[in-house]
């Protein structure tokens, strides 16, 4: 039976585990948080404390695939710090390792297109840390003879994390930044792309898992408000304190990201090719 261990089983990680389990994979989610591990178990997966070296070593010894979704910190990738020693000690060689990065590594393209082989030009500290973490995993893959894949994702949305909920609870803000455009990805589509890579591994390859319709944030929010029959939220400048730091980072860059490689090599197609289909799926309660 194929087995998948997700290090940092948050929003995307748990969705990937759910899809893998539906396809008869043995699934384990890792987290340092006891409450998060309880949520992972409640969803039907095994859970491991990633802060427990012995437990993690046992978990990697029995898995054929590992996905790292935990973000890097000032010291690098926490997944690398925990998993690489565990793999070495267990003498474990999983068939596939995936690292979830961000399209922020490309930096600003002034609305132009970004492709996987383009030079990386991270414009924020968070994105620069992702560049470093990508390199760390690719180097580890070469050094240990492991298949490592990189996935560059834009803003992830879906049930519980979309403009629909923000408009309904009143937390949405309308931000206009002329010329600014970026991609998005529905959480299930991202997870499907990751699983497609597990089925078609290509050592060292990077894939952009993005939708087909990069668009300005204000266009998306205005359309969604009309679809819901709600008034437009307050309009603010993108530097306003009411705009979260995480959201503000999306307004720093303007680019269109290509998903052509993932389609050609993985046979992947997003079920929600534009943000309109994604919004409709959220309204229907689909995940």
Contact 154, 183 (CB under 8 A): yes
Find the helix packing angle between 11-22 and 34-42, rounded to 10°.
30
pLDDT in tens, 2-47: 999 999 999 999 999 999 999 999 999 999 999 999 999 999 999 9
239-243: average pLDDT? 78
User: String of b and e for 249-262 (b: at least 16 CB within 10 Å)?
Assistant: bbbbbbbbbbbebb
The enclosing domain of 153 has a CATH number of: 3.40.50.720
Judge residue 54's burial from the number of C-beta atoms within 10 Å of its C-beta, 0-12 exposed, 13-18 middle, 19 or more buried.
exposed
Residue at 189 is within a domain:
yes
Q: Which of 74, 118, 79, 76 is nearest to 99 (CA)?
A: 79
Write out pLDDT tens, residues 111-155: 999 999 999 999 889 999 999 999 999 999 999 999 999 999 999
Query: What crossing angle do the helices spanning 275-283 and 217-228 adopt, rounded to 10°?
Result: 30
Instruction: Report how far apart, in Å, the C-alpha atoms of 29 and of each of 46, 67, 71, 151, 194 are.
Output: 6, 10, 15, 19, 15
Q: Are 104 and 130 in contact (CB under 8 A)?
A: yes
Q: What pLDDT, on the 0 to 100 scale, is given for residue 287?
A: 58
Q: How many domains does one find in the chain?
A: 1
Write out the residue range of the structural domain in which residue 39 sits: 3-157+184-211+256-270
Please state the pTM of the whole predicted model.
0.95
| Residue 85, domain member (yes or no) | yes
Convert the pLDDT of each residue in 264-276 to its tens digit.
999 999 999 999 9
pLDDT for 62: 86
3-state secondary structure of 279: helix
pLDDT per position as a tens digit, 150-194: 999 999 999 999 999 999 999 888 988 888 999 999 999 999 999
CA separation for the pair 258, 166 (Å, rounded): 28
Q: Are 50 and 82 contacting, i.e. CB atoms less than 8 angstroms apart?
A: yes
Lowest mean pLDDT among 21-30, 221-230, 238-247, 266-275: 238-247
89 inside domain: yes
Predicted local confidence at residue 258, as pLDDT? 98
Domain presence at residue 236 = no
Give the DSSP letter string of 45-76.
-EEEETT-HHHHHHHHHT-SEEEE-PPPBTTB
Residue 162 belongs to a domain: no
Do the Cβ atoms of 181 and 214 come closer than 8 Å? yes
């Amino acid at each position: 039976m194929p087995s998948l261990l997700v290090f940092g089983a948050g929003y995307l990680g748990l969705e990937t585990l759910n899809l893998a389990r539906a396809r008869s994979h043995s699934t384990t989610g890792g987290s340092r948080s006891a409450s998060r591990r309880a949520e992972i178990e409640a969803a039907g997966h095994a859970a491991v404390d990633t802060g427990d070296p012995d437990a993690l070593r046992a978990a990697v010894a029995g898995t054929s695939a590992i996905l790292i979704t935990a973000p890097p910190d000032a010291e690098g990738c926490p997944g690398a710090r925990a998993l690489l020693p565990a793999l070495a000690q267990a003498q474990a060689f999983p068939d596939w390792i995936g690292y979830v990065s961000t399209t922020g590594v490309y930096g600003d393209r002034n609305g132009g297109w970004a492709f996987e082989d383009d030079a990386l030009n991270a414009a924020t500290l968070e994105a620069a840390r992702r560049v470093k973490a990508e390199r760390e995993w690719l180097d580890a893959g070469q050094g240990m003879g492991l298949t490592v894949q990189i996935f560059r994702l834009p803003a992830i949305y879906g049930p519980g994390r979309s403009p629909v909920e923000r408009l309904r609870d009143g937390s949405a803000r309308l931000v206009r930044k002329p010329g600014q455009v970026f991609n998005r990805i529905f959480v299930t589509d991202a997870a499907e792309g990751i699983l497609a890579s597990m089925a078609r591994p290509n050592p060292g390859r990077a894939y952009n898992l993005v939708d087909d319709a990069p668009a300005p944030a204000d266009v998306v929010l205005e359309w969604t408000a009309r679809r819901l029959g709600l008034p437009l939220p307050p309009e603010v400048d993108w530097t306003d304190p009411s705009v979260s730091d995480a959201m503000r980072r999306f307004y720093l860059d303007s680019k269109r990201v290509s998903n052509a490689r993932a389609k050609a090599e993985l046979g992947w197609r997003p079920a929600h090719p534009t943000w309109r289909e994604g919004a409709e799926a959220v309204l229907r309660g689909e995940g």
